Amino acid sequence: MEQRPATRALRVGIPEGLHMRAAMEVAKLLGRFKSHVVLVKEGQRVDGCDVLQILSLAAVQHEELTAEASGDQAEEALAALAALFDNDFAETEETTKEKG
C-alpha cells in the first residue's frame, strides 16, 4: 500500500514573491533531504528541487502554496521549508545584502 505524502501549507510573505534567489534557496534546502517535495499552486505541480519549475509558479506575496513530500525525510524537509517561508527567507536576503 502506497503511503500518502505529508503536506504543509506555505504562504509567500516576501514582497518580491518567490523570485530567483528565493527559488534557489528552496531548491538548495530541499536537496539536502532524502525526500521528494512537490510544490503546488492552483493545481500546478512542480519539483521543489528545480529552480525553473519553482519560478514557473509565479507566486507573489500573500499567495498560498502547498508542499507535498514523500520519502524517508519528508517531515523534516517540510519543517525546514516551512521555517524558511515563515522567516520570509531572512537568511537568503541577509546573505545577499552582505555580498552586495
- Give the tens place of pLDDT for each residue, 36-92: 999 999 999 999 999 999 999 999 999 999 999 999 999 999 999 999 999 999 854
Task: Considering the candidates 11, 19, 21, 36, report the single residue annotated as catalytic.
Answer: 19
**Which pLDDT score is estimated for 2?**
61
Helix (H, G, I), strand (E, B), or coil: what is residue 69? strand
**Angle (deg, nearest 10), helices 90-99 and 20-30:** 120
C-alpha cell at 98: 552582505
For residue 74, what pLDDT is reported? 97
pLDDT band per the 50, 70, 90 thresholds, residue 3:
confident
Q: Is 19 a catalytic residue?
A: yes
pLDDT surpassing 50 at residue 97: no
Complete domains list, the chain, with CATH: 6-93 (3.30.1340.10)
Residue type, 34: K
pLDDT at 96 over 50: no
Kind of pairing between the strands at 36-41 and 6-11: unpaired
Contact call for residues 31 and 49 (beta carbons, < 8 A): yes
Distance CA(83)–CA(11), nearest Å, equals 11
Question: Average pLDDT, stretch 10-32?
Answer: 97
Is the pLDDT reported for residue 23 higher than 50?
yes
